[in-house]
A and B are shown apart, each in its own frame.
Chain A
Amino acid sequence: MLQMPMPDRAVLARRAEIVAALRRIVPGEGVIDTELERRVYESDGLTAYRTLPMVVVLPENTEQIVHILRYCSANGVKVVPRGAGTSLSGGALPLADGVLLGLGKFMRILEIDVPNRCVVVQPGVTNLGITHAVQDQGFYYAPDPSSQIACTIGGNVAENSGGVHCLKYGLTTNNVIGIEMVTMDGEIVRLGGKHLDSAGYDLLGVMVGSEGLLGIVTEVTVRILPKPPGARALLLGFPTIEGAGNAVAAIIGAGIIPGGMEMMDRLAVEAAEAFAHAGYPMDAEALLIVELDGCEAEVDHLVQAVEAIAAEHGATTCRTSRNEEERLLFWAGRKSAFPAVGRLSPDYYCMDGTIPRKRLGEVLARMKQMEGRYGLRVANVFHAGDGNLHPLILYDANNPGELERAEEFGNDILRLCVEVGGVLTGEHGVGVEKRDLMGTMFNEADLDQQQRLKCAFDPDSLLNPGKVFPQLCKCAELGRVHVHAGQVRFPDLPRF
């Protein structure tokens, strides 16, 4: 298991005083002090990691957040922000000597602005809640992580969440146009708004996906899109993974960017079919679900094209949804793949690497070899269009040592993703889960530069420390100017 920073005894000794100070800022039930009630917050979606937070505070407005952060800054108290706690990478894992700052009370939709194609919401509004607020007018919010019923837009901003439609419609970062945030020293900063592009540095762009390390987001402006008039899905079964992979490349090569394009391997298909009865072909080694959306003329045109490509690449099953009910049924299996796999095994561990798609066959073959080595099975769910792989490692935490083996297996998979030219995480974030693997993708100079940016926002490293970076930030050292006149030879380079 990965180690979190040692709690600061001096801070723990002042716990009562800190709780009292927070109560002066957030009156009533907004400060949670009892162990029983704090227990609720001890982990997020990465449940293997649990820590009881020192205290939980649930502010109701931006002003309270300003005062909480000013107090914590002045007193050297760490802060961990939390939305709905659905992070799969431990981004909201509490600290024993830290304040857990929950944004669950920021639940209002502030403005629906159709002429400017945007909605202004508080960060605790759920992802799906935004779509619900605008769907009567024919709009939706595009990023759709599978936790969208529960996860909050604030958490989506922190993690730069994706979903099955992000190949065509983008991640959170492509759909957020403004935020209000509070920095660790209690300053309110507005970035972006209802306009496009940034006046100065694109700090909004770097806030999205910063995993709660740079500031507390208190308001979000998202762009909304008109709902496509129609969509149809194709179920394509292939006798080999390579065949399915080649079909994906051929679809994109034909200039088609589907609304969604998902691949599942045999084990995932079996689990999903047993769970959802979606009519998946049980003889296929790989199943592709391809969704094409747009006007009827376009959808019909593209369906024909994809059907032809599938046939050329040896698809043994090719079914096209005939109505909305059938389209949703095709998706039902994929969308329940995680809980379905959960029925195959007491526990599963969901990975999230991205690879260049052309390396898929090789990566899956090597994963098979690893299955033998670790004595654990893997079911694969894959955002095929963008190369984002979700291997689900099946294990039983009741068997001593099996969780550790699953974690080591997961780490090996992620190292493999990096080795073939991919990355550690496509959409779940680094959090604590992949923190110690950052060195496989980035060298010291890369990580130092990221840490320096952290220092510009949070010089005392009080905001969500212990996440993302394998080593705690030492801003004073990183900021030191280490070059002086005369120390570097005049470069011997072409000059003009």
Chain B
Amino acid sequence: MEVFRPGDAHETEQVVAWAAAERKPLEILGGGSKRALGRPSRTEHTLDLSALCGIVDYDSSELVLTARAATTMTEIEDQLVAHHQMLAFEPPDWREVLGTSGAQTLGGILACNLSGPRRVRAGAARDHFLGFAAVNGWGDGWKAGGKVVKNVTGYDMCKLQAGAFGTLSVMTEVTVRVLPRPETACTLILQSLSDEDAVAAMAAALNSPHEVSAAAHLPVVLVARSGIAELAGAATTALRLEGPRPSVDFRADVLGRLLGEALRLGPADTERFWTGVGAVQPFVDQHSAGKSDRALWRVCPPPSAAPALVRRVQAGLGSAEAFYDWGGALVWLSVEAGTDCGAPLIRAAVAQSGGHATLIRAPERVRMTVPVFEPLSGALDALTRRVKASFDPLGILNPGRMQEGV
């Protein structure tokens, strides 16, 4: 068991080239905050990228930031806040819900394609990922994309790297698009809606011209865990509006009248509420140390199919709890872990609704046996394996993190 900690891209290439020659698979690690995500690593050695850190170039008026892959999100956020900018995909912090510590890194966020509540309006991490330098499974350094916001030169490899969980190449440097931080924000609260009515209201809001930047629904049992005391006691459907103050005020009033607003959260509570939604706060307690008898699923169905999916799961697994983000396009499901975390039932429900499900938090023994990511079949499975082999034919980089043999 060795941990390699290269100091630069060249040393990273050397480590991977050695591992490839010796056929020794590597676990790829940034800050380690998402180590519990995916299928458990069974590699002998670890490639620790934490020394590849620091912002390389940040020019706020160009809307572009380049950083070494393991630059911490704290450092990135500090710089962005100082320039009134942000990563528009609102990277969430899953450390509490995963029960991990360690710093979140920009490379890690991109490798997992993690996006927060604003994803429904601004797109996912992948949509803001402009370019990178990386090391493939042979140990060859290569790059793709660019350092400008608009570029179609060559295949869009950023999309492929985002969400590949380090199984295709080891990123050493990344470039992302940044955007201005909204001047202000508020959250409209609708109360006591059923799941069906809530998803319909969120669709109406997102389909209105009022530029809703986040839409979530918490059933009454979970509202108490939202961190906002005044919401307690009623199912909560929350709609965020952001922008210049006169615009936010105007839109909030119109939309509030249209949908029957019960309460309105100001900027500070808005920040707290949506950070909590991104961090899966309502399910953190159940997953903290010592209470790991529950498992957490992240399901992405077509939004209008979400309530029926939840009902189906709850009919089969009595203790299942759920809340909705992205207007219903993201459903967080907490179920009893048991032997299989309810996988057969949840996979069947997803097969009916469309979309996909990922087992985010589960005991290691379950993640060894139950597919963590949506199983692929037929031509798509074969294509996925060929794509993996085109980057890492020897299976050196995070092998099996997503699928057996990938």
**A interface residues (Cβ-Cβ under 8 A, vs B):** 113-117, 138-139, 159-160, 162, 166-167, 170-171, 173-174, 183, 187-191, 193-206, 208-210, 214, 226-229, 249, 252-257, 294-298, 300-302, 354-358, 383, 386-388, 421-430, 434, 438, 441-442, 445-446, 448-450, 452-457, 468, 479, 481-491, 493-496
Q: Which of B54-62, B68-76, B90-98, B226-234 lines the interface with chain A?
A: B54-62
Which listed residue (A115, A193, A434) contacts B355, Cβ 8 A? A193
CB neighbours (8 Å) of A421 from chain B are 147-148
The answer to whether A115 touches B203 (Cβ under 8 A) is yes
A386 nearest CB neighbor, chain B only = B150
CB neighbours (8 Å) of A493 from chain B are 4-7, 11, 14-15
CB neighbours (8 Å) of B158 from chain A are 205
Nearest CB in chain B: distance from A433 CB, A: 12
- Indicate whether A195 sits within 8 Å of B383 (C-beta atoms), given known contacts A200-B402, A205-B162: no
Nearest CB in chain B: distance from A357 CB, A: 6
The answer to whether B244 touches A195 (Cβ under 8 A) is no
The answer to whether A202 touches B162 (Cβ under 8 A) is yes
The answer to whether B181 touches A490 (Cβ under 8 A) is no
Cβ < 8 Å to A, chain B residues 169-221: 169, 179-183, 200, 203, 206-211
User: Given A199-B374, A386-B148, A449-B136, list of 12 further CB < 8 A pairs?
Assistant: A167-B150, A173-B159, A202-B126, A202-B164, A208-B159, A229-B209, A255-B180, A302-B244, A449-B157, A485-B23, A490-B18, A495-B2
The answer to whether A496 touches B5 (Cβ under 8 A) is yes
The answer to whether B149 touches A386 (Cβ under 8 A) is yes
B23 nearest CB neighbor, chain A only = A485
A226 nearest CB neighbor, chain B only = B209
Residue tally, chain B, CB below 8 Å to A: 112
The answer to whether A438 touches B154 (Cβ under 8 A) is yes
The answer to whether B138 touches A483 (Cβ under 8 A) is yes
CB neighbours (8 Å) of B203 from chain A are 114-117
**B interface residues (Cβ-Cβ under 8 A, vs A):** 2-7, 11, 14-15, 17-18, 20-23, 48, 51, 59-64, 84, 113, 115, 119-120, 123-124, 126-127, 136, 138-144, 146-160, 162-164, 168-169, 179-183, 200, 203, 206-211, 243-244, 246-247, 249-251, 254, 300-304, 326, 329-330, 354-356, 373-374, 376, 378-380, 382-384, 386-391, 393-394, 402-403, 406
Nearest CB in chain B: distance from A405 CB, A: 24
Number of A-B contacts (CB under 8 A): 325
CA distance A113 to B300 in the complex (A): 17
The answer to whether A210 touches B155 (Cβ under 8 A) is yes
CA distance A368 to B382 in the complex (A): 52
CA distance A214 to B387 in the complex (A): 12
CB neighbours (8 Å) of B330 from chain A are 196
B330 nearest CB neighbor, chain A only = A196
CA distance A452 to B390 in the complex (A): 5
The answer to whether B251 touches A445 (Cβ under 8 A) is no
Which listed residue (A191, A388, A442, A468) contacts B150, Cβ 8 A? A388
The answer to whether A205 touches B126 (Cβ under 8 A) is yes
The answer to whether A196 touches B247 (Cβ under 8 A) is no
A206 nearest CB neighbor, chain B only = B160
The answer to whether B150 touches A201 (Cβ under 8 A) is no
A300 nearest CB neighbor, chain B only = B246
The answer to whether B394 touches A481 (Cβ under 8 A) is yes
CA distance A455 to B180 in the complex (A): 40
Nearest CB in chain B: distance from A154 CB, A: 16
Which listed residue (B21, B61, B390) contacts A456, Cβ 8 A? B390
The answer to whether B300 touches A196 (Cβ under 8 A) is yes
A297 nearest CB neighbor, chain B only = B250
- Indicate whether A456 sits within 8 Å of B383 (C-beta atoms), given known contacts A199-B374, A442-B154: yes
CB neighbours (8 Å) of A356 from chain B are 59, 62, 64, 147-148
CA distance A227 to B247 in the complex (A): 16
The answer to whether B387 touches A456 (Cβ under 8 A) is yes
The answer to whether A117 touches B207 (Cβ under 8 A) is yes
Residue of B7, B152, B153, B244 with highest tally of chain A CB at under 10 A: B152
The answer to whether B18 touches A489 (Cβ under 8 A) is yes
CB neighbours (8 Å) of A495 from chain B are 2-5
CA distance A440 to B133 in the complex (A): 16
Task: Give me the 4 closest cross-chain CB pairs, A-B, nearest first.
Answer: A205-B159, A298-B247, A255-B180, A199-B356
CB neighbours (8 Å) of B142 from chain A are 445-446, 448-449
The answer to whether B15 touches A228 (Cβ under 8 A) is no
* Pairs A–B under 8 Å by Cβ, sample size 17: A117-B203, A173-B156, A194-B302, A195-B354, A197-B115, A198-B356, A202-B160, A294-B211, A295-B210, A302-B244, A358-B62, A386-B149, A434-B153, A449-B142, A456-B387, A485-B23, A495-B5
CA distance A421 to B144 in the complex (A): 13
The answer to whether A249 touches B61 (Cβ under 8 A) is yes
Nearest CB in chain A: distance from B38 CB, A: 12
- Indicate whether A183 sits within 8 Å of B379 (C-beta atoms), given known contacts A210-B155, A387-B149, A455-B390: yes
CA distance A387 to B146 in the complex (A): 12
